[in-house]
Amino acid sequence: MFSVYKLLGSLFFSKNHWDRWTVCVIGTRPSHSFGHPQSPRQGQRPREVKDNPPYDKGAFRIEINFPAEYPFKPPKITFKTKIYHPNIDEKGQVCLPGISAENWKPATKTDQVIQSLIALVNDPQPEHPLRADLAEEYSKDRKKFCKNAEEFTKKYGEKRPVD
């Protein structure tokens, strides 16, 4: 299964608002909590999820952009590392219903967004694809999809730390 473990970088503040971005690596060892040291969200840790194929052969860098209107507008998640997934396009844009403008709720915590992302990666939604070809492959030939995703992850995924 896909997992979020280590935060590389931190959430930065500007004029008492969440700043634009943070970078996480997904698929590495547990270590850091979410949030800036002065953040009210300090100490929120992602829950660990067991690693299984096809995404366990690499790590994935993501970017979370918090708009100036946050928490009244949702953050935007972008994969900076290429991933073979029907709900994540070639530009790294993610189809995640919980952060769409029409579904967003200001009370949603960053940890909930990350957990929704983990769930989406672990359980693709081929009925809402950003990449129709991968959704079709996932639906019609799961074994082939998993093989292709694993090979793609080995080729494009970031190296996983050994510690």
Q: How confident is the model at residue 2 (pLDDT cuts 50, 70, 90)?
A: very low
Q: How confident is the model at residue 48 (pLDDT cuts 50, 70, 90)?
A: very low
Length of the chain: 163
Region 31-50 average pLDDT? 38
Query: SS3 of 162, please?
Result: coil
Q: How far apart are CA 64 and CA 78, in angstroms?
A: 7
Predicted pLDDT of residue 27: 54
Q: How far apart are CA 55 and CA 31, in angstroms?
A: 20
Q: What is the CATH number of domain 4-156?
A: 3.10.110.10
Region 54-72 average pLDDT? 87
H helix runs in 69-160, sequence order: 110-122, 132-140, 142-156
Q: 103 Cβ partners below 8 Å, 6+ apart?
A: 97
Segment 7-29, tens digit of pLDDT: 333 333 333 334 444 445 555 44
Instruction: Supply 2's token pair.
Output: 């896909």
In the chain, % of residues over pLDDT 70: 66
Active site residue 95: yes
Segment 105-159, tens digit of pLDDT: 999 998 899 889 988 988 999 999 999 999 999 999 999 999 999 999 999 988 8
- Considering just the CA atoms, what is the radius of gyration of the chain in Å? 16
Instruction: Supply 87's token pair.
Output: 């709900």
Catalytic option among 64, 77, 95, 117: 95
Tokens 């844009």 belong to residue: 93
Return the domain boundaries, the chain. 4-156
Predicted pLDDT of residue 49: 43
Predicted pLDDT of residue 115: 87
